[in-house]
């Protein structure tokens, strides 16, 4: 699990980290602590995050700003705050739980249990918050048909025919996306359910044809993996 802790009080952030390592049941793949909204928004643009522990009062900013700007439905959020009056507004943002400071271990464990319940229900990321050419782009995952590499950028092709240029590499996008997507070639990623057939192309190469009749390059190794399933 990829986790981000956002709190401008280092002792409080370290306590959350300690409780996490003691009580979370899933392996922690990455854990980052940040002390401001701006660096947290930037981090969420550049890295896959499954869970955010978020304070509401962060220096001069509000944790709600992060939830609005970073598209809070792209990750689960547990609020950890000394301001219980913010709970109603927090749950309007579909947070998993609201834990008041100082954090008690038994209350923290209950928040993790609620997180597991949410994950078992299949509540998954619905959108990606990504760095675009002119600022942050929030892209619904269900709208993505293809992703093509263009140097250190990606071109995200959507079902409505539009294309978004994103400041991320294809390898980084591959980490962001779920198992419904497949990297068919070093230059592209597609949605697996859109594959119609495999075709031969020029110079002894191959392509996959999608439902939209688009044709995307296909490496020999991925072709062999697909042949048994198509």
pLDDT per position as a tens digit, 80-132: 999 888 888 888 888 899 999 999 999 999 999 999 888 776 555 677 878 88
Pairwise CA distance, residues 196 & 117, whole Å? 36
Q: Quote the number of domains for the chain.
A: 2
Q: How many CB atoms lie within 10 A of CB 100?
A: 14
Pairwise CA distance, residues 31 & 105, whole Å? 19
> Residue 190 has what pLDDT?
97
Query: Does residue 136 share a domain with residue 72?
Result: no
Query: Does residue 139 share a domain with residue 37?
Result: no
Query: Does residue 112 share a domain with residue 133?
Result: no
Strand partners, 100: 81
Pairwise CA distance, residues 130 & 53, whole Å? 20
Query: Does residue 158 share a domain with residue 64?
Result: no
Please report, for the domain that includes residue 146, its CATH number: 2.40.50.1020
Query: Rounded to two decimals, what is the model's pTM?
Result: 0.60
Query: Does residue 220 share a domain with residue 159?
Result: yes
Query: Does residue 100 share a domain with residue 20?
Result: yes
Residue the block writes with tokens 């980290």: 17
Are 204 and 216 contacting, i.e. CB atoms less than 8 angstroms apart?
no
Pairwise CA distance, residues 84 & 68, whole Å? 19
Pairwise CA distance, residues 173 & 211, whole Å? 22
Domain enclosing residue 149, as ranges? 127-227
């Amino acid at each position: 699990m990829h986790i981000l802790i956002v709190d401008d009080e280092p002792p409080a952030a370290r306590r959350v980290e300690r409780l996490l390592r003691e009580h979370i049941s899933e392996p922690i793949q990455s854990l980052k602590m940040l002390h401001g909204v701006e660096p947290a928004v930037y981090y969420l643009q550049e890295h896959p995050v499954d869970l955010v522990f978020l304070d509401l009062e962060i220096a001069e900013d509000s944790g709600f700003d992060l939830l609005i700007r970073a598209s809070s439905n792209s990750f689960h959020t547990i609020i950890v705050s000394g301001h219980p009056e913010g709970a109603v507004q927090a749950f309007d943002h579909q947070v998993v739980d609201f834990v008041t400071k100082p954090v008690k271990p038994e209350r923290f464990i209950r928040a993790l249990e609620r997180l597991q319940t949410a994950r078992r229900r299949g509540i998954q990321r619905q959108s990606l918050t990504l760095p675009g050419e002119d600022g942050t782009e929030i892209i619904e995952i269900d709208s993505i048909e293809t992703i093509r590499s263009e140097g250190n950028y990606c071109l995200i092709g959507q079902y409505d025919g539009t294309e978004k240029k994103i400041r991320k590499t294809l390898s980084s996008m591959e980490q962001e996306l779920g198992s419904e997507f497949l990297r068919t070639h070093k230059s592209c990623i597609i949605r697996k359910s859109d594959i119609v057939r495999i075709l031969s192309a020029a110079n002894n190469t191959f392509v996959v044809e999608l439902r939209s009749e688009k044709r995307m390059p296909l490496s020999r190794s991925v072709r062999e993996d697909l042949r048994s399933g198509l």
